Structure 1
Amino acid sequence: MSTPDALQNEAVVDPTVLDAVESAMIRIRRRQSRRSLARPVVMGLTEPVDLNTLAVVDAVDEGAGEGGRDVTVGFVADRLAIDPSRASRIVAEAVRSGFVRRAASQEDGRRSCLELTELGREAVTAAHRTRQGFYSVVLGDWEPQDQADFARLLTKFVHSLDDAGRR
């Protein structure tokens, strides 16, 4: 993996652009650290869900869409950018609370995979509905082309973040 200094030297970017992106990312991180968007999802469910459990549910849901790849505790740790022992603890809580279940891997019976339960699928549905409703309000007064451009560029940015993390 490259160091931040090495990443800086790979491309020349206008300093005003870097300042604007840094400032925006700090504001996004602060909002996310308060988990202000997750709270309504939790309140909208019939069963209470811990915010860490909701993060596990999101990660398991994301992994299920990746072409039949086994979703393991290691996958959750990678997606949440946490160490495997912490991932193991929060996955265990998600299993105990009934949002996720363990199943034997079809590739390797010794390995345990994670699947959403019906309650977990309800949480995913509630999360998508709540987040998309919020984003609809935020983007609602933007021009349709600006909305599409933002979605395209944000997706491109996230892919670049993923790529930079692998260097």
Structure 2
Amino acid sequence: MQNETRPDQRADDVDPAVLDAVESAMIRIRRRQSRRSLARPVVMGLDEPVDLNTLAVVDAVDEGAGEGGRDVTVGFVADRLAIDPSRASRIVAEAVRSGFVRRVASQEDGRRSCLELTDLGREAVSAAHRTRQGFYSLVLGDWDPEERRDFARLLTKFVHSLDDAGRR
């Protein structure tokens, strides 16, 4: 029998003070993300206006394209954005209408529709990377280089653990 954990269970070997600190930090991050404080400067810096949901689709399509030969579909976008497929379909349709994303036939199955970025979509991705990385550079500016590397390594490890926990 497989050992299953519930979200409300605590591992016995994790210090409760650590769990409290992580929980508090994650709540603050979630609040900040829900305000879309990093997305707004990105969309304001583009020649073409872009809806924040469209920017989320563009980010997801870009992420999927980087996963080597994988078909990026509406289902993939729904999974990455943690939204239901019907909502994903609506916001993908808007991203297509606004010219950031285009539908193409799958190379695996011509009946299936896949998504790829247009030139405008790639411009939005570049603007997003520049804006976010500029912001992170400012935030991490007074950290020493070793702290930055440790933070990047540990944050990446944490995100992978989140992904793994979501698959259980």
Both proteins in one fold, TM over 0.5: yes
CA distances 1:94-151 after superposition (whole Å, capped 9, x unpaired): 0000000000000000000000000000000000000000000000100100000000
- Cα offset, 1:8, TM superposition: 15
TM-score of the two chains, using structure 2 as the length reference: 0.92
Separation (CA, whole Å) in 2 of partners of 1:32 and 1:119? 24
Structure having the larger proportion of residues in helix:
1
Separation (CA, whole Å) in 2 of partners of 1:66 and 1:38? 23
- Cα offset, 1:57, TM superposition: 0.0
> What are structure 2's unaligned runs of at least 5 residues?
5-13
C-alpha change, 1:8 and 1:161, in structure 2 (3 Å) is farther
Q: Percent identity?
A: 92
CA distances 1:70-108 after superposition (whole Å, capped 9, x unpaired): 000000000000000000000000000000000000000
Partner SS state of residue 9, structure 1: coil
Separation (CA, whole Å) in 2 of partners of 1:147 and 1:124? 24
Separation (CA, whole Å) in 1 of partners of 2:87 and 2:41? 25
Q: Which has the higher contact order (CA 8 A, sep 6+)?
A: 1
TM-score of the two chains, using structure 1 as the length reference: 0.93
CA distances 1:29-77 after superposition (whole Å, capped 9, x unpaired): 0000000110000000000000000000000000000011000000000
Separation (CA, whole Å) in 2 of partners of 1:8 and 1:68? 33
Separation (CA, whole Å) in 2 of partners of 1:166 and 1:104? 29
Partner SS state of residue 114, structure 2: strand
Separation (CA, whole Å) in 2 of partners of 1:69 and 1:96? 23
> What are structure 1's unaligned runs of at least 5 residues?
1-6
Partner SS state of residue 126, structure 1: helix
Query: Post-superposition, which runs of at least 4 consecutive aligned residues in structure 1 deviate over 4 A?
Result: 7-10
C-alpha change, 1:102 and 1:140, in structure 2 (3 Å) is same
- Cα offset, 1:153, TM superposition: 0.1
Separation (CA, whole Å) in 2 of partners of 1:35 and 1:103? 30
C-alpha change, 1:8 and 1:38, in structure 2 (3 Å) is farther
Q: What value does the CA root-mean-square deviation take over the aligned residues?
A: 1.9
